[in-house]
């Protein structure tokens, strides 16, 4: 087990500086254009693939970093560059986490490389959990997967929504209900291979922020996949469902996590790192602006009203990062989230991003309200962090339930 540290090692610092350079030199100059176009920035993803950032090897090296700091550090740097482009680069990672959290070694080795493609032919992947009537309420999920024993195939029907890369992905990971009477414990995850008949893109959403990232509905109409596409395999699913039947209603019994929740638990600190990156970007820009913007014959940072705001912004960003790092270290080292530390990190960092970007707009005044300055875009982008992968209200619910032991509603 790695000791917890707040100091990056030499290798991590080298990676951080490399990513920072890519964010500053490649992502930022293109950010406004792709935000306006509201299209997937394929040329930027391809450039990231060519230099090794968009790849299975890079993602795995950060994900399995035993200090726990590799992935949040890398995420923060990319989202410091631009949230929309960064999510286009990192969106595949959520599907990859879904496979890593629930799949067999064979499934991991087979499907994750296909999610990324090659530098000359980049691909993306999508994780599909939310539905029109089942967002935070995962127990309300309606997408059904029925096993056809004669053909050893699963037949999947339903509609998913808010799917990053949905419909344009090479590989989709879909969460579906396999045993409705067990509620959220009766869910399982499935790989939908490329070009599978019956899968199509529904509505593509025009969003307030992160507009360079593709978000759409995914429609599954009698989609048939081989039995080998059930993440974890049939035997493991049957065992899990049997345990759920026996113990779900038993006080103090084993907690059985559903497939979507296992993925979200692993990814919440990463979302927190995304928020830290955006907040830090807004703080950095506001600080430099305040040093150079002259009003009444002096830089506006000379005024306590501005300087104290920047002090609060910096303190909040650093505090958010520490919560993210703690949760990431705990997750990598198998420490239980007895205080819902993953949700704490996501909650505080996402709320920090909204507040800090709003403060940056305020410091820039009228300029901050225009698209000529990037803090306007950062403020729009930050709005998503308190919503996706569990709203702030859901994070508070998770934390409250965890610290109290009471099933608070």
Q: How far apart are CA 264 and CA 391, in angstroms?
A: 12
Give the tens place of pLDDT for each residue, 266-295: 678 999 999 999 999 999 999 999 999 999
Q: Which of 47, 217, 265, 389 is catalytic?
A: 389
Indicate whether 202 pLDDT > 60.
Answer: yes
Helix (H, G, I), strand (E, B) or coil at 290: helix
What pLDDT shows up at residue 245? 84
| Choice between 180 and 124, residue whose per-residue pLDDT is larger | 124
What pLDDT shows up at residue 256? 42
Indicate whether 113 pLDDT > 50.
Answer: yes
What is the chain's mean pLDDT, rounded? Answer: 93
What pLDDT shows up at residue 94? 87
Indicate whether 95 pLDDT > 60.
Answer: yes
What pLDDT shows up at residue 135? 65
Q: How far apart are CA 128 and CA 189, in angstroms?
A: 9
What pLDDT shows up at residue 251? 42
Distant-in-sequence, close-in-space partners of 270: CB < 8 Å, separation ≥ 6: 71, 72, 75, 93, 328
Q: Are 375 and 360 in contact (CB under 8 A)?
A: yes
Burial of 177 (0-12, 13-18, 19+ CB in 10 A): buried
Which is nearest to 219 in space by CA: 268, 163, 287, 284? 163
Give the tens place of pLDDT for each residue, 150-171: 999 999 999 999 999 999 999 9
Indicate whether 27 pLDDT > 70.
Answer: yes
| Choice among 2-11, 112-121, 177-186, 241-250 with the minimum mean pLDDT | 241-250
What pLDDT shows up at residue 254? 41
Q: Are 340 and 265 in contact (CB under 8 A)?
A: no
Compute the average pLDDT of residues 135-155: 89
3 is catalytic: no
User: Which residue has 């951080």 as its token pair?
Assistant: 16
Compute the average pLDDT of residues 223-248: 91
**How wide is the angle at C-alpha 94 spanned by C-alphas 42 and 208, nearest 5°?**
60
Indicate whether 348 pLDDT > 80.
Answer: yes
Which is nearest to 346 in space by CA: 361, 332, 360, 326? 326
User: Which residue has 């049957």 as its token pair?
Assistant: 238
Other CB atoms within 10 A of residue 253 CB: 12
What pLDDT shows up at residue 5? 82
What tokens does 266 get? 């692993």
What tokens does 81 get? 């560059």
Percent of the chain with pLDDT over 90: 81
What pLDDT shows up at residue 136? 65
What domains, with CATH codes, occur in the chain? 10-123 (1.10.540.10), 126-247 (2.40.110.10), 259-404 (1.20.140.10)
What pLDDT shows up at residue 252? 44
Indicate whether 387 pLDDT > 70.
Answer: yes
Indicate whether 106 pLDDT > 70.
Answer: yes
Indicate whether 247 pLDDT > 80.
Answer: no
| Choice between 383 and 1, residue whose per-residue pLDDT is larger | 383
What pLDDT shows up at residue 63? 86
Name the band, by pLDDT with cuts 50, 70 and 90, for residue 253.
very low
């Amino acid at each position: 087990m790695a000791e917890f540290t707040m100091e990056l090692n030499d290798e991590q610092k080298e990676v951080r500086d490399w990513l920072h350079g890519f964010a500053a030199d490649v992502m930022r100059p293109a950010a406004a254009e792709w935000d306006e176009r509201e299209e997937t920035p394929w040329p930027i993803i391809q450039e990231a693939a060519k230099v090794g950032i968009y790849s299975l090897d890079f993602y795995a090296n950060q994900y399995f970093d035993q200090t726990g700091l590799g992935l949040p550090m890398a995420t923060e740097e990319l989202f410091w560059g631009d949230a929309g482009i960064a999510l286009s680069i990192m969106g595949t990672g959520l599907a990859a986490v879904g496979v890593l959290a629930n799949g067999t070694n064979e499934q991991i080795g087979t499907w994750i490389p296909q999610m990324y493609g090659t530098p000359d032919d980049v691909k993306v992947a999508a994780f599909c959990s939310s539905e029109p009537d089942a967002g935070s309420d995962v127990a309300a999920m309606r997408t059904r997967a029925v096993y056809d024993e004669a053909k050893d195939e699963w037949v999947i029907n339903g509609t998913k929504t808010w799917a990053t890369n949905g419909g344009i992905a090479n590989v989709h990971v879909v969460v579906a209900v396999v045993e409705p009477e067990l509620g959220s414990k009766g869910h399982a995850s499935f790989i939908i291979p490329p070009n599978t008949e019956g899968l199509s893109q529904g509505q593509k959403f025009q969003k307030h922020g992160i507009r360079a990232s593709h978000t759409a509905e995914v429609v599954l109409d009698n989609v048939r996949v081989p039995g080998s596409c059930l993440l974890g395999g049939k035997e493991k699913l049957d065992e899990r469902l049997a345990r759920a039947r026996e113990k779900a209603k038993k006080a103090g019994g084993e907690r059985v996590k559903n497939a979507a929740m296992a993925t979200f638990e692993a990814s919440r600190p990463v979302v927190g790192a995304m928020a830290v990156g955006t907040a830090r970007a807004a703080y950095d820009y506001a600080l430099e602006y305040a040093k150079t913007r002259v009003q009444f014959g002096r830089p506006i940072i000379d005024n306590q009203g501005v300087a104290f705001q920047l002090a609060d912004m910096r303190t909040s960003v650093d505090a958010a990062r520490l919560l993210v790092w703690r949760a990431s270290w705990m997750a990598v080292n198998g420490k239980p989230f007895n205080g819902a530390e993953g949700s704490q990190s996501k909650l505080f960092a996402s709320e920090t991003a909204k507040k800090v970007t709003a403060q940056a707009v305020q410091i820039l005044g009228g300029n901050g309200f225009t698209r000529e300055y990037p803090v306007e875009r950062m403020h729009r982008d930050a709005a998503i962090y308190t919503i996706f992968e569990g709203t702030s209200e859901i994070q508070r619910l998770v934390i409250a339930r965890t610290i109290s032991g009471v099933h608070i509603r």
